[in-house]
Each structure stands twice: as structure tokens, then as C-alpha cells.
Structure 1
Amino acid sequence: MSSLTPPEHEHSAAIEEAARWIATTPDHAKPRPIIRAIQERFGISAIEACYAIREANLIRARAA
């Protein structure tokens, strides 16, 4: 049995920071395209940017 977790469960500090930024920045203030902007701002890959967006959605849902 492997002790490794799937990549979708691994979160770096940069992903968490990006998620907080996405969740707290108003939509009109976010640059477009958002994936590219997140990659450049936080130094993460496109898939990690997608994970950050998913986490931001969870943060917003918990705050509602």
C-alpha cells in the first residue's frame, strides 16, 4: 500500500496564498486572463493555479 497522496491533495504555500488572494480580491480588480495572472504573480503552474481557484471557491463558500 502506498503512502503517497494524489497531487490534487498536495498544497504548497504559494497555492494557499494565491487562493487567499483570489478569494479576497474583487472580481473587477483581478487581471485577465486569470490563470496566467495567477501563474505570474505566485510563480505556480497552470494546474496549481486551477487548484488555487478551487480552494478560493471553498474559502468563499465557508465565509457565506
Structure 2
Amino acid sequence: MTGTDHEHSEIVVEAAVWLSGQKDPPQPIIPELRHRFQLTALEACEACAMAQRFRTYRVAHG
């Protein structure tokens, strides 16, 4: 991984953590994540998927 890739990964995780903690996430979420965290469309989609995994884990291990 290059330094840039690592930085992107961290911001994607940060966005996913933020999103997974939102009781009523803003809609549409992809543009919101792109704006709020300066993500690409792909990164915003990755953050959404990661946030869902975080929520699932919390429910399963509550």
C-alpha cells in the first residue's frame, strides 16, 4: 500500500464509523459522504458497505 492508499483507507473507515453511528442518516448518503469526507464515489460506496458491517456486528455482539 502506498501512503496515499493508506490515507484513503483511514478516511473511508472514519466515514464508515460516522455513518454507522447515525440514527437517521442523511439521504442521499453517497453525495453527503463525498462532501463531508472528500471521498470519491467508490470510497463513499465502500464506506457505506463498511458501515453496514459495523452495524451488523454491533447487533450480533450487542
TM-score (norm 1): 0.75
Larger Rg: 1
1:20 aligned residue: 17
**Identity score, percent:** 38
Distance 2:11 2:26 in 1: 18
Distance 2:40 2:10 in 1: 13
Gaps of 5+ in 2: 2-7
Gaps of 5+ in 1: 5-10
* Greater helix content: 2
Q: Number of paired residues?
A: 53
Distance 2:52 2:27 in 1: 18
* Residue 49 of structure 1 pairs with residue 49 of structure 2: no
TM-score (norm 2): 0.77
Structure 1 residue ranges (4+ consecutive) displaced by more than 2 angstroms after TM superposition: none
* Alpha-carbon offset, residue 14 of structure 1: 0.6
* Alpha-carbon offset, residue 33 of structure 1: 1.7
